[in-house]
A = this chain, B = another copy of it.
Amino acid sequence: MTADIALAKPAAAAVSAAIDELAAIFGNRLVTSQAVRQQHGNTVTWIVNQPPDAVVYPQSTEEVQQIVRICARHAMPIIAFGTGSSLEGHVNAPLGGVSIDFRDMNKLVKVHAEDLDCVVQPGITRKALNEQLRDSGLFFPIDPGADASLGGMAATRASGTNAVRYGTMKDNVLSLKVVLANGEVIDTARRAKKTSAGYDLTRLMVGSEGTLGIITELTLRLSGIPEAISGGRCPFPTVEAACNAAIMTIQAGIPVARIELLDALQVRALNLASKTELPETTLLLMEFHGTAASVAEQSERFGEIAEELGGGPFVWTTRPEERTKLWEARHNAAMSNFTLRPGAAMIATDVCVPISRLAECVTATQADIAETGILAPIVGHVGDGNFHLTLLIDMNDPGEVERAKALSKRLVERALAMDGTSTGEHGIGQGKMKYMVAEHGAAVVAVMASIKRALDPQNILNPGKIIALS
């Protein structure tokens, strides 16, 4: 097995033939203006924008099928597009092709309240979904920073602050409707909560970043909105003490819902941007879900653990408005960083290590940041061993850009050396392809490439992502 996959731009004649065929069907839902094409190239990362040749807005699975069949006939690349909030160049079109924008496929199709599941179209965003679910007493727990689309979240195997309790997208997708590279439509599983009937195509599609199929519908697992929620913040003298508190909390079986680390620099950014008055030191933000009695018990026990480790006081509350303020500040963490350096470009990256190595990894990274002289606040989903750097960069200073790139590379190498991964939740896209062999070994990358070739022999589904190219 090899990792070689042909990567060729379609000929200009094929491109215009495909676009003509699509235009005949989709009319003004097929757009080729430069502004719209640019919007659908990568916009959030520092990776250069590579716009598609056209953008199309389907309204049904059948229309997606039509698009894929036309593109397949002309060997045109196809890139699924949700909200464009992915961070590693996932929606870029290095070979041109057609971007399928799911703007118009954004419905909550059905709620099965007794089964704790729902069926959605890929373009619905997580906030819109939870808004529409509210009356059912249910919610969808996965919350990446951005208000991403559910299709994109599945495609990148997203997670967020709730993952320590509710898992990631891989744990909360029951089934996917997928259009394959040949235009066939499959459902990856039945709606039953578990199955042993053959290969797990659901989990194979989750995290495949649009390279194995186009998701046109998702059946999602939901959770009951907790009866009571407590939340609060707890300062710690060191990153190590905070990480140890996280470890002891989980080992003690306290079913913590959120356990978020902020370093002192990140707290300062939050205070500046959100007018909060958080202590500017290493901080854990906590949340507990359950009954009134159980969240009180969990909160008290966490407070004891924190104190034992020299942290505290743990200031917590069950009052919604105070909790909301705290977590809104946290969710604005990325954007708040601009207050630290107005006008800077923001480069977000993440790694994930076994939690026993987290303190060491964060501390070494802080030292590296200090030495490199880059402004880079840290937030971490410490229950998972996952943390993020936001590098604030002057893109007009080539030296600084180089230093930032080198810092990011050392971060990944540090994580890999600790049995960690190059990305806990952002994905590979274009940005982290260069680390795939170092992380997995050539044999694993070859297996992935052989699966890619089996499902997409023409390499038309989001080419130039995940798998190293010849």
Any B CB within 8 A of the CB of A127: no
Q: Which of A184, A185, A255, A354 has the most CB of B within 10 A?
A: A354
Of the candidates B185, B196, B297, B355, which one forms a contact with A425 in the assembled complex, judged by CB atoms under 8 Å apart?
A: B196
Q: Cβ of A187: which chain B residues have Cβ within 8 Å of it?
A: 440-441, 444
CA distance A116 to B190 in the complex (A): 31
A1-B182, A450-B454 known; A466 and B196 CB under 8 Å?
no
CA distance A208 to B203 in the complex (A): 13
Any B CB within 8 A of the CB of A134: no
Contact between A198 and B440, CB atoms less than 8 A apart: yes
Contact between B443 and A186, CB atoms less than 8 A apart: yes
A418, chain B: closest CB distance, angstroms: 9
Any B CB within 8 A of the CB of A400: no
A387-433: which residues lie under 8 A (CB-CB) from chain B?
415-416, 419-428, 432
Contact between B191 and A355, CB atoms less than 8 A apart: no
Among A262-270, A286-294, A368-376, which stretch is in contact with chain B? A286-294
A171 and chain B: residue at smallest CB distance: B171
Among A51-59, A107-115, A272-280, A321-329, which stretch is in contact with chain B? A107-115
Q: Cβ of A195: which chain B residues have Cβ within 8 Å of it?
A: 157, 352, 421, 423-424
Q: Cβ of A384: which chain B residues have Cβ within 8 Å of it?
A: 192-194
CA distance A113 to B251 in the complex (A): 8
Contact between A224 and B197, CB atoms less than 8 A apart: no
CA distance A454 to B451 in the complex (A): 6
A453, chain B: closest CB distance, angstroms: 7
Contact between A198 and B193, CB atoms less than 8 A apart: no
A295-320: which residues lie under 8 A (CB-CB) from chain B?
297
A367, chain B: closest CB distance, angstroms: 21
Q: Cβ of A441: which chain B residues have Cβ within 8 Å of it?
A: 186-187
Any B CB within 8 A of the CB of A27: no
Any B CB within 8 A of the CB of A237: no
Mask of A156-185 contacts with B, CB within 8 angstroms, 1/0: 111100010001101100000000101011
Tally of this chain's copies: 2
Of the candidates B1, B186, B189, B440, which one forms a contact with A197 in the assembled complex, judged by CB atoms under 8 Å apart?
A: B440
Any B CB within 8 A of the CB of A121: no
Contact between B428 and A163, CB atoms less than 8 A apart: no
Any B CB within 8 A of the CB of A386: yes
A137-B251, A290-B253 known; A199 and B194 CB under 8 Å?
no
Of the candidates B186, B193, B212, which one forms a contact with A385 in the assembled complex, judged by CB atoms under 8 Å apart?
A: B193
Of the candidates B201, B290, B355, which one forms a contact with A448 in the assembled complex, judged by CB atoms under 8 Å apart?
A: B201
Contact between A194 and B352, CB atoms less than 8 A apart: yes
A192-B424, A385-B193 known; A224 and B200 CB under 8 Å?
no
Q: Cβ of A443: which chain B residues have Cβ within 8 Å of it?
A: 180, 184-186
Any B CB within 8 A of the CB of A252: yes
Contact between A353 and B192, CB atoms less than 8 A apart: yes
Contact between A451 and B199, CB atoms less than 8 A apart: yes
Of the candidates B194, B224, B435, which one forms a contact with A159 in the assembled complex, judged by CB atoms under 8 Å apart?
A: B194
Contact between B355 and A114, CB atoms less than 8 A apart: yes
Sample (29) of A-B pairs whose CB atoms are under 8 Å apart: A1-B182, A114-B251, A117-B354, A163-B194, A167-B171, A170-B200, A187-B440, A190-B421, A191-B354, A191-B419, A192-B352, A192-B384, A193-B386, A194-B421, A195-B352, A197-B423, A197-B427, A197-B428, A198-B207, A198-B444, A198-B467, A199-B204, A199-B212, A200-B204, A225-B253, A253-B289, A450-B454, A451-B454, A454-B454
